[in-house]
C-alpha cells in the first residue's frame, strides 16, 4: 500500500500500522532520503543566492532539479526562504509538493521547515512580534502563546509545515550574537515562555488539516560560548547543564514540542552533533523526548571540516547517526545520502537504526496530516496581518520596553519645547526588527512594509510640528526646554554575523550622544538592538534611558506612546544589563561572584539588574507574610505580599518571587526566581499577590548527575526589598 492510497482512516486511526507498513516497502535509499533536508536555494532556477548561501530575491522553482533530487535521492524535506507574498508561497509549495509526491515511488509527501522566528517573519505582510528577549521582558507567557497562534493562523496553509521555533537557549552571555533570540537568563522564564509558544502554535492548527510542527532549539548549551562568539566552544559543568540549560527543553517536551534542533557548537570539547550522551542518553533517556531530531545547518559535515573530531565526511555521518540525529540539514548536497547508504551496506550502521529515524519522521508527517492534506490552500489568505493580530504584537511591544532611568524628561510634556529626534537608528525600520526578519539578515529597509513606522515617524505623528529629525553628523541645536531623543544601538545581524569585539556602544554613537548632552537639552537615550550594549560612559548625562531591544513592526508606535505618556511602561529586564566590559554576572550569582572582600567592592558592574524596570506609576511593597515559618517536604507555605500603586497613573506591575537557599551542598545562588505574576493596579489601589511555596517545586535543585535534591534547612523568600525566612524540616 503506498501512501497515496493511505485513506484518512488508516493514517489517523492506526498510524503505527501505517508507518510500519510503509517502512516495510521502502528501499534503503528511500529511507535515507527521508533523513535528508535540503535548502530551498538548491531548488531554484538560477537563484540569486547570497554569499552566505541564504536565498536572494528570486524564488522560482527548478522543477527538473526537484525531480532529480526526489527520483534519485528521495529527499523528504526542504527548508528556508524569504518573505514573499502568501500567494507566491502557495504556488511554490504546491508545485514543489506535487513534484515530490509524483516523483516519489511511494508518494511520500515532503515536510518543509521555515524560520518564523518572531511572528511569520518569512511571509510578506506577516505580523512581526518583538523578538524573544523583548517577550521575556513582558513576563507574560500569553504573548508568546499568541505569537505561536498567530504564526499558525498566518502560515499553516502555505505549506510551512515545520516552524523552527521556539529558541530555548538561556541568555546567560550578553556577548552572544543570538542573545535577542533567548527569552531570558533565567531558565524558568525561558521554559514557560517557550512552552506557551508551542501550545499556541499547536492549538491554532490542531483543529485544522494544516497542522504545524514546533522545534525546540538549539539543544543544548548553545547560548554560552566561552568567547561570546556564535558556535564557538562552550564549557558547561553538568551542574549547570541540569540546573540552567536542560529545564527549558524539559518544559518544551511537557508542552508537546514535535521536534528538536541541535546546537552546532561544542560543549567541553565534544560537538553536540557527535554526543550520544546528549542526543540519546539525556535527550531521549533522561528528558524522555521521542520525536524527530534535526541537525542544524551543515552540522554533520562540520564534525569533519570544523570540529575536526572525525577524519572524513563519511565518518562524520556515522558519528552523527550513532549520536542520535534523525534528519541532516545537509543543506546543499546529497553526499549525506551516499555516505549513509554505504555505511549501512558496510554494516557500520544497522538498518534497524535507520528504521528508528524513518519511523519518527513518518510519524511526524502523519501527525501533521501531510498524507491526507499535503498541499497548501488559499483559504486563510484573509487571516494574514489582521489588525487584531497586529494589536497583540503591539501590546507585546508596549509591555516589553523597559524604562531604566527617568529623572524628569518623561513623559514629554504636551506643551513645551521641541522634540528633536536623532541618532543612527532614529529613522531605520530594520533596526526595530533585527535578524530573521523578511530575510536572514535584513540589510536594507526597501522590503519592509511601506506603512511601518520608524521611531522618527512615530514621534512625528505623536508631536506634529514640535518634532524634528536631525540626521547624525549634521549640526544639533537645542535649548533647555527641548527634549532630544537619541536612538542608538545595533543594526540587524544573525548568528555569526553578529560576532563582535566590543560590548560598548560604538564610539561614533557615544560622541553623538555627548554632542546632544552639550546642548543643555534633556537627553532621552533610546536603545535598540539584539543585546545590551554598555552605555555607562554616557548614562550619567542622560535624563532618561529606555531599553527597547527589538520590539518588532509595531515597536515604534509603542515607543512613541510610552514617551508621550499615552501608555505606561511595564517591562522589566529579563537579563542583567552589564555596565563594564571587564566584569559581568547574572542575577542568580553567588556570594563569591562579587568577591570575598566586600569592602573592596569596585563600582557596580551592572547598569541595571534582572527584573528592573521603572514605570510612570510607583509601587510600594508591604505586608509580606507567611502562613508558617517552617514546613516538611510534603507541606506547603502560603506567602502573601501587598503591592500599592502610590502613583497617579494606572500601571502594570510584575511581582517577582525569589527564594534563597541559605546553605546547600553546592554553592547556592543569592536568589533564584520561583514565580512571577503581572497585574494592572489603579492609582491608590492595593492588591495582594501570593505564592504557594511547594518544597519539591520551589526548593530543590539537581546534582551533577541530574538527580533532584531537596535539602532541609533555612530558606529566605525575597520579594522586592522584603524578605521572610522559613525552614524546611525533614
Ligand atoms: C541556522 C540556525 C537555526 C535555523 C537553521 C535553518 O543556522 O542556527 O536556528 O533554524 O539554520 O535556517
Residues of the chain above pLDDT 90, percent:
90
Q: What is the pLDDT of residues 664-673, one digit of tens each?
A: 999 999 999 9
What whole-number distance in Å separates Cα of residue 96 and Cα of residue 94?
Answer: 5
440 touches ligand 1 (CB under 6 Å): no
What whole-number distance in Å separates Cα of residue 483 and Cα of residue 442?
Answer: 31
Q: Sorting pLDDT into bands at 50, 70 and 90, what band is 276?
A: very high
pLDDT at 1: 38
Residues of the chain above pLDDT 70, percent:
95
In terms of phi and psi (left: phi > 0; alpha: psi -120 to 50; beta: otherwise), the region of 531 is beta
Burial class (CB in 10 A: 0-12, 13-18, 19+), 379: exposed
296 touches ligand 1 (CB under 6 Å): yes
Report, as an integer, the average pLDDT of 666-686. 98
pLDDT(152) > 90: yes
For the sheet with 259-262, list strands across it: 215-219, 259-262, 292-294
Residue 164 three-state SS? coil
Residue whose cell numbers read 528556508:
80
Q: How far is the CA of 53 from the centre of ligand 1 (A)?
A: 12
pLDDT(417) > 50: yes
Q: How far is the CA of 420 from the centre of ligand 1 (A)?
A: 40
What whole-number distance in Å separates Cα of residue 335 and Cα of residue 304?
Answer: 14
217 touches ligand 1 (CB under 6 Å): yes
Q: How far is the CA of 263 from the centre of ligand 1 (A)?
A: 10
Q: What is the pLDDT of residues 494-512, one digit of tens each?
A: 999 999 999 999 999 999 9
pLDDT(7) > 80: no
Residue located nearest, by CA, to atom 8 of ligand 1: 296
pLDDT at 648: 96
Please name the residues in contact with 160: beta carbons below 8 A apart, sequence gap of 6 or more: 89, 93, 112, 114, 116, 120, 122, 123, 212
Residue located nearest, by CA, to atom 7 of ligand 1: 297
Integer CA distances (angstroms), 263 to 216, 225, 274, 275, 659, in order:
11, 11, 11, 11, 31
Q: What is the pLDDT of residues 551-595, one digit of tens each?
A: 999 999 999 999 999 999 999 999 999 999 989 999 999 988 887
State CA 364 to chain mean position distance: 23
Residue 669 three-state SS? strand
Q: Sorting pLDDT into bands at 50, 70 and 90, what band is 400?
A: very high
Residue located nearest, by CA, to atom 11 of ligand 1: 297
Report, as an integer, the average pLDDT of 160-164. 98
What whole-number distance in Å separates Cα of residue 526 and Cα of residue 406?
Answer: 12
What whole-number distance in Å separates Cα of residue 683 and Cα of residue 647?
Answer: 6
What whole-number distance in Å separates Cα of residue 219 and Cα of residue 293?
Answer: 9
What whole-number distance in Å separates Cα of residue 377 and Cα of residue 137?
Answer: 36
| Packing angle of the helix pair 63-73, 86-103 (nearest 10 deg) | 40
Integer CA distances (angstroms), 578 to 130, 328, 493, 509, in order:
22, 38, 20, 18
pLDDT at 443: 94
- Look at 46 and 468; give whichever has higher pLDDT: 468
Say if residues 99 and 67 touch (Cβ distance below 8 Å).
yes
Task: Find residue 546's DSSP bridge partners.
Answer: 403, 526
Report, as an integer, the average pLDDT of 173-196. 98
pLDDT at 413: 87
181 touches ligand 1 (CB under 6 Å): no
Report, as an integer, the average pLDDT of 129-141. 98
Q: What is the pLDDT of residues 440-482, one digit of tens each?
A: 999 999 999 999 999 999 999 999 999 999 998 789 999 999 9
185 touches ligand 1 (CB under 6 Å): no
pLDDT(226) > 60: yes
- Ligand 1: which of 38, 39, 113, 115 to mutate, judged by most atoms within 8 Å of the beta carbon? 115
Report, as an integer, the average pLDDT of 419-447. 97
pTM over 0.75: yes
80 touches ligand 1 (CB under 6 Å): yes
- Residues marked as catalytic: 296
Report, as an integer, the average pLDDT of 128-138. 98
What whole-number distance in Å separates Cα of residue 231 and Cα of residue 215?
Answer: 19
Q: Identify the CA nearest to 278 among candidates 287, 292, 313, 230.
A: 287
pLDDT(338) > 50: yes
Task: Find residue 620's DSSP bridge partners.
Answer: 644
Q: What is the pLDDT of residues 49-107, one digit of tens each?
A: 655 655 555 567 889 999 999 999 999 999 999 999 999 999 999 999 999 999 999 99
- Look at 631 and 81; give whichever has higher pLDDT: 631
36 phi and psi angles, rounded to 5 deg? -115, 130
pLDDT(13) > 50: yes
Average pLDDT, the chain: 95
- Ligand 1: which of 297, 299, 496 to mutate, judged by most atoms within 8 Å of the beta carbon? 297
118 touches ligand 1 (CB under 6 Å): no
Amino acid at each position: 500500500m503506498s501512501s497515496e492510497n493511505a485513506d484518512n482512516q488508516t493514517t489517523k486511526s492506526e498510524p503505527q500500522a501505517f508507518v510500519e507498513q510503509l517502512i516495510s516497502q521502502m528501499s534503503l535509499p528511500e529511507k535515507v532520503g527521508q533523513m535528508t533536508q535540503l535548502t530551498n536555494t538548491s531548488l531554484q532556477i538560477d537563484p540569486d543566492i547570497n554569499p552566505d548561501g541564504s536565498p536572494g530575491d528570486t524564488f522560482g522553482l527548478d522543477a527538473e532539479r526537484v525531480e532529480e533530487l526526489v527520483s534519485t535521492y528521495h529527499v523528504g524535506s526542504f527548508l528556508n526562504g524569504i518573505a514573499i507574498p502568501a500567494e507566491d508561497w502557495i504556488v511554490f509549495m504546491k508545485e514543489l509538493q506535487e513534484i515530490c509526491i509524483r516523483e516519489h515511488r511511494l508518494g511520500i509527501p515532503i515536510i518543509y521547515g521555515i524560520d518564523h522566528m518572531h511572528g511569520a517573519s518569512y511571509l510578506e505582510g506577516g505580523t512581526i512580534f518583538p523578538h524573544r528577549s523583548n517577550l521575556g521582558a513582558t513576563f507574560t507567557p500569553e504573548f508568546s502563546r499568541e505569537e505561536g497562534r498567530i504564526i499558525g493562523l498566518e502560515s499553516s496553509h502555505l505549506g510551512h509545515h515545520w516552524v523552527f521555533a521556539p529558541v530555548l537557549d538561556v541568555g546567560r552571555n550578553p556577548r552572544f550574537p543570538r542573545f535577542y533570540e533567548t527569552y531570558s537568563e533565567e531558565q524558568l522564564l525561558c521554559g514557560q515562555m517557550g512552552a506557551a509558544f508551542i501550545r499556541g502554535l499547536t492549538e491554532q492548527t490542531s483543529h485544522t488539516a494544516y497542522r504545524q510542527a514546533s522545534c525546540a532549539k538549539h539543544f543544548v548549551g548553545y547560548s554560552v560560548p566561552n568567547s561570546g562568539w556564535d558556535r564557538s566552544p562552550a564549557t558547561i559543568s553538568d551542574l549547570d547543564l541540569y540546573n540552567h540549560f536542560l529545564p527549558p527543553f524539559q518544559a518544551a517536551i511537557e508542552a508537546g514540542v514535535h521536534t528538536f534542533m541541535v546546537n552546532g557548537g561544542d560543549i567541553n570539547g565534544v560537538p553536540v552533533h557527535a554526543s550520544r550522551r546528549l542526543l540519546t542518553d539525556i535527550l531521549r533517556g533522561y528528558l524522555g523526548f521521542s520525536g524527530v531530531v534535526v541537525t542544524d545547518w551543515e552540522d554533520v559535515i562540520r564534525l569533519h571540516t570544523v570540529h575536526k573530531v572525525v577524519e572524513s565526511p563519511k565518518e562524520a555521518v556515522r558519528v552523527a547517526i550513532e549520536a542520535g540525529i534523525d534528519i541532516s540539514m545537509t543543506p546543499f548536497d546529497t553526499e549525506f545520502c551516499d555516505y549513509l547508504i554505504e555505511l549501512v551496506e558496510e554494516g557500520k550502521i544497522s538498518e534497524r537504526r535507520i528504521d528508528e529515524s524513518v519511523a519518527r519522521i513518518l510519524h511526524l508527517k502523519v501527525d501533521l496530516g501531510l498524507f491526507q492534506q499535503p498541499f497548501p490552500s488559499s483559504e486563510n489568505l484573509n487571516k494574514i496581518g489582521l489588525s487584531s493580530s497586529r494589536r497583540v504584537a503591539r501590546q507585546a511591544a508596549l509591555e516589553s520596553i523597559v524604562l531604566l532611568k527617568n529623572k524628569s524628561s518623561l513623559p514629554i510634556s504636551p506643551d513645551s519645547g521641541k522634540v528633536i529626534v536623532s541618532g543612527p537608528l532614529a529613522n531605520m525600520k530594520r533596526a526595530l526588527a533585527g535578524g530573521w526578519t523578511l530575510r536572514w539578515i535584513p540589510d536594507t529597509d526597501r522590503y519592509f512594509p511601506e506603512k511601518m513606522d520608524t521611531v522618527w515617524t512615530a514621534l512625528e505623528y505623536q508631536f506634529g510640528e514640535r518634532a524634528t529629525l536631525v540626521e547624525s553628523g549634521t549640526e544639533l541645536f537645542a535649548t533647555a526646554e527641548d527634549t532630544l531623543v537619541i536612538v542608538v544601538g545595533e543594526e540587524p545581524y544573525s548568528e555569526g554575523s553578529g560576532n563582535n569585539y566590543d560590548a560598548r556602544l560604538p564610539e561614533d554613537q557615544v560622541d553623538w550622544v555627548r554632542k546632544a548632552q552639550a546642548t543643555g537639552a534633556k537627553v532621552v537615550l533610546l536603545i535598540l538592538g539584539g543585546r545590551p550594549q554598555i552605555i555607562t560612559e554616557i548614562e550619567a548625562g542622560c535624563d532618561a534611558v529606555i531599553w527597547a531591544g527589538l520590539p518588532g513592526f509595531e515597536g515604534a508606535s509603542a515607543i512613541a506612546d510610552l514617551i508621550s505618556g499615552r501608555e505606561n511602561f511595564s517591562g522589566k529586564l529579563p537579563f542583567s544589563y552589564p555596565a563594564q566590559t571587564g566584569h559581568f554576572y547574572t542575577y542568580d550569582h553567588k556570594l563569591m561572584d562579587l568577591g570575598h572582600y566586600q569592602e573592596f567592592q569596585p563600582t557596580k558592574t551592572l547598569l541595571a539588574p534582572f527584573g528592573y524596570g521603572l514605570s510612570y506609576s510607583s509601587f510600594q511593597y508591604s505586608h509580606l507574610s507567611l502562613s508558617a515559618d517552617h514546613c516538611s517536604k510534603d507541606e506547603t507555605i502560603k506567602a502573601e505580599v501587598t503591592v500599592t500603586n502610590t502613583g497617579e497613573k494606572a500601571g502594570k506591575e510584575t511581582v517577582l518571587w525569589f527564594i534563597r537557599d541559605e546553605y546547600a551542598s553546592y554553592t547556592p545562588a543569592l536568589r533564584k526566581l520561583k514565580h512571577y505574576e503581572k497585574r494592572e493596579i489603579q492609582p491608590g489601589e492595593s492588591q495582594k499577590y501570593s505564592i504557594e511555596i511547594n518544597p519539591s517545586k520551589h526548593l530543590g535543585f539537581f546534582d551533577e548527575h541530574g538527580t533532584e535534591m531537596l535539602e532541609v534547612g533555612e530558606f529566605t523568600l525575597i520579594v522586592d526589598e522584603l524578605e521572610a525566612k522559613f525552614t524546611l524540616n525533614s
